[in-house]
Amino acid sequence: MFKAKHSITLLFNANKVYDRQVIEGIGHYLQSSKVDWDIYLEEDFSCRLEHIHEWGGDGIIADFDDINIQQALALWNKPVVGVGGSYANAEDYPAVPYVATNNAALVEAAYEHLKRKGLDSFAFYSVPVDDNHRWARERENAVRKLTAQDGFDCQIYQGHCTRPETWQYAMNRLTDWVQSLPKPVGIIAVTDSRARHLLQACEHLGIIVPDQVSIIGIDDDDIARLLSRISLSSVTQGCFEMGYQAAKLLHTQLNNIDVGKKRTLVAPVGVASRQSTDYKALRDPYVIQAMHYIRRHASRGVKVEQVTDYVGISRSNLEQRFRAERGHSIHTELHNQKLTRACKMLLETQVSPTEIANICGYPSLQYMYAVFKRHFGQTPKEFREGQGAAVNAMAVNE
């Protein structure tokens, strides 16, 4: 038997990936438990606080990173669970049951990822100071602490708001900052949206990502990733788990069990490593140029001659330099780039093998089949169905 039905409101702005994933976690709790809740969420998925105290429901789960929501619910006399960022100072937490993303752990995951790439120069691109960006200040403080512990400097830039009327000015100032940084450098962006700004700035300046600037964001937002020419590495927050734990806390309160000011910190899921941090400490400027061209054009079916034409030195000279830095030929690098992309598309999308062959620059589906048979002993379809058992063998050497 279901317990008595409750009416619950969710105060989130679901146009943000963070909020959508939290809501998804709440929904999963509803599906997997025996609660019988009526959920109220604005039809356009926005958050409105007008007349919130006239609402006659039984409980609220709300985004407490939004200072207006937190203040509006300060005198609320029914069960509330806050969701938001963690704080280094315990006194900064709200006086309600609270589920938090671990800001320090998110930044540490990004920082350690860049360190493992061999980088020793770091920067952090944040957001302007205001009450709704307290989570960003926590991330700034975390990166300062981590880099100081290791004896590194970290340049922090908060940038400007990016409204239509200020967009050009904000991007001009960002390009000035990026240009001023020592190279190579690893930059942590406070969100994926800000990471995308960095990718655009580097494109405008002709700065090669990741060989000169490696970039990692936080959120693992598909929209930010798909809008960028270079695939973005990002730290995946545990937003789904946050939503699940928030619903569980509210359920406990609705069963008349006092949870006090319980705090639950949710760790990041991990780092999605992609092209923007595929840094391999290349030193030869000609090889850096070649790799930049290959990453951008391998899937267009370019040949070795086109790479050497772009770099502007003889094929034999570039081949010699390339083998010294990369350990294999330019042809093998072109091959690896196409094969890696095809494997990722087979594992991460539902795009047909025929379309993948075309997108990745293979002359035909039959040709791609022959490549997969030669390297994995599988057809592309078998590779997809077996979830890429041979994926670790993707890097091919002559």
Higher pLDDT, residue 13 or 1: 13
Please give the average per-residue pLDDT across 32-52, as a whole number: 76
Residue 90 within any structural domain of the chain: yes
Same-domain check for residues 295 and 258: no
CATH of the domain at 38: 3.40.50.2300
Kindly tell me if the per-residue pLDDT of 3 is higher than 60. Answer: no
Provide the domain count of the chain: 3
107 and 232 fall within a common domain: yes
**Three-state secondary structure call for residue 182:** coil
- The model's confidence at residue 45, banded by pLDDT at 50, 70 and 90, is low
324 in the same domain as 263: no
Domain that holds residue 88: 6-102+238-269
Task: Please count the other Cβ atoms lying within 10 Å of the Cβ belonging to residue 148.
Answer: 11
Q: Which of 249, 277, 305 is the last residue of a domain?
A: 277
Q: Does the pLDDT at position 390 exceed 50?
A: no
Residue count (the chain): 398
Q: Are 276 and 231 in contact (CB under 8 A)?
A: yes
Q: Is the pLDDT of residue 319 over 50?
A: yes
At 279-306, the pLDDT tens digits run 876 778 899 889 888 988 898 889 999 9
Give residue-wise pLDDT tens across range 335-378.
998 998 899 889 888 899 999 999 999 999 999 999 999 988 89
Q: Which residues contact 292 (CB under 8 A, 6 or more apart)?
A: 208, 211
Main-chain dihedrals φ then ψ at residue 156, nearest 5 degrees: -110, 130
Q: What is the average pLDDT value for the chain, to the nearest integer?
A: 89
Cα first-last separation, the chain: 65
Whole-number pLDDT of residue 113: 96
Which CA distances in Å does 379 have to 137, 350, 360, 365, 385?
Answer: 49, 16, 16, 11, 10
Q: Are residues 309 and 330 in the same domain?
A: yes
In a domain, 1, yes or no: no
User: Does any domain span residue 398?
Assistant: no
Q: Is the pLDDT of residue 90 over 80?
A: yes
Of 277, 299, 334, the last residue of a domain is 277
Whether the CB-CB separation of 217 and 224 falls below 8 Å is answered with yes
Q: What is the pTM of this model?
A: 0.76
Residue 50 structure tokens: 């007008």
User: Is 228 in the same domain as 110?
Assistant: yes
- If you compute the radius of gyration of the chain from its CA atoms, what whole number of angstroms results? 24
pLDDT of residue 349: 87
244 and 304 inside one domain:
no
SS3 187: strand
Query: Do 321 and 301 sit in the same domain of this protein?
Result: yes
Read out DSSP for 19-77?
Answer: HHHHHHHHHHHHHHS---EEEE--TTS----TTGGG---SEEEEETTSHHHHHHTTT--
| Local confidence band at 395 (pLDDT 50, 70, 90 cut-offs) | very low
Residues 386, 378: contact at Cβ < 8 Å?
yes
Does 133 lie in the same domain as 84?
Answer: no
Looking at the predicted structure, is the pLDDT value of residue 394 above 90?
no
Same domain, 231 and 108: yes
